[in-house]
Amino acid sequence: MFIVNNYLLAVVLCFVTMLCWGSWANTQKLAGKTWRYELFYWDYVVGILLFSIFLGLTLGSTGDAGRSFITDLKQVTLGNYASALIGGAVFNLGNILLSAAVSMAGMTVAFPLGVGIALVLGVIVNYAGAPKGDPMVLFLGVALVVVAIILNAVASGKVQRGGASRNQKGVWTAVIAGVLMSFFYRFVAAAMDLNNFESPTPGMATPYSAFFIFAVGIFVSNLVFNTIVMRSPFEGRPVTYAQYFRGGLGTHMVGVLGGVIWGLGTALSYIAAGKAGAAISYALGQGAPMVAALWGIFVWKEFKGAPRSVGWLLTLMFVFFLAGLGAIILSGAN
């Protein structure tokens, strides 16, 4: 299987993760013109699952290092299967809430709040589980990101989108999503031998098998979580599975593409974690709010007509995010 052997390459992969995690919601925005996000989300989940199989049968099954994808799946213990499956379920619940927040408050608001909170709590959780990197520099980076989150919250408070109550509901939904999403990565990382991908401990998973099991956890839990949300949506009328199956091929493929984009980012994050460490790999990928905010500002015009002070706040947000990510990178190089 493909294994990362140096820190610089691990950082590069984490930046690709950041781009993917910050960009997949564009597909939700595209589909949302004619398609409810609850229906889009099914295609998104299918995309993640299909990509996890594809990746396992390609990069996860090439080369002589480590165990191949199928071989590894056969030897993973039930406990590690359970850990990765739980990670998938926890992520899925948080991500459904994040998708709801995007539909109510927009990418520029929902992502920096939800994913930013997930970054802060997730780094703490992942570092406690697998300490790697200079903790002082790492948590300095996290503190700078906290400042960026606060600046974004202030900026969003100055903008009324679709009514104040709708925007506020989206903000609080993003906060809850962030808290939930801060824990999923640790469950998946616990199923892997992060110290030795070339000769992993028997019973533990490689990144490729862990990602597939995680994707199965997302898909299975979606049968429960998304069905509930379809019947009792955050806003609007309930939607049905009959409506989903009446969707056109193009509409479905937009959602699948969103899942593939997110899945690529997540898989690269797991692959990079062996060299960078779970906390650093997770933290770098969670620079996604900056990417999402750029899409929201310059492509979707979510802050069009906002006061000039909002522009300054958003500029400062980007500055603090970049400084925080720089500190996180340096923490792993020390």
Q: pTM for the whole thing?
A: 0.85
Higher pLDDT, residue 282 or 135? 135
- Say if CB 255 and CB 27 are below 8 A apart: yes
Residue 312 has pLDDT above 70, yes or no: yes
In the DSSP assignment, the letter for residue 32 is T
- Say if CB 103 and CB 37 are below 8 A apart: yes
Q: What does the block give as tokens for 23?
A: 């960009």
- Which band of pLDDT confidence, cut at 50, 70 and 90, is reported for residue 1? confident
Q: What pLDDT shows up at residue 84?
A: 97
Residue in the structure block whose two tokens are 């009446």:
246
- Which band of pLDDT confidence, cut at 50, 70 and 90, is reported for residue 164? low
CA 53 to chain centre: 19
Residue 160 has pLDDT above 70, yes or no: no
Residue 122 has pLDDT above 90, yes or no: no
Could you tell me the residue ranges of all domains in the chain? 7-333
Number of other CB atoms surrounding residue 164 within 10 Å: 11
CA nearest neighbour of 27 among 257, 250, 285: 257
What single string gives the DSSP state of each residue in 136-161? HHHHHHHHHHHHHHHHHHHHHHT--S
Q: List Cα–Cα distances, 180 to 84, 90, 133, in angstroms.
A: 15, 7, 25
Buried b (16+ CB within 10 A) or exposed e, 1-10: bbbbeebeeb
- Which band of pLDDT confidence, cut at 50, 70 and 90, is reported for residue 85? very high
CA nearest neighbour of 213 among 89, 84, 90, 86: 84
**3 state SS of 233:** coil
Distance CA 269, CA 242 (A): 36
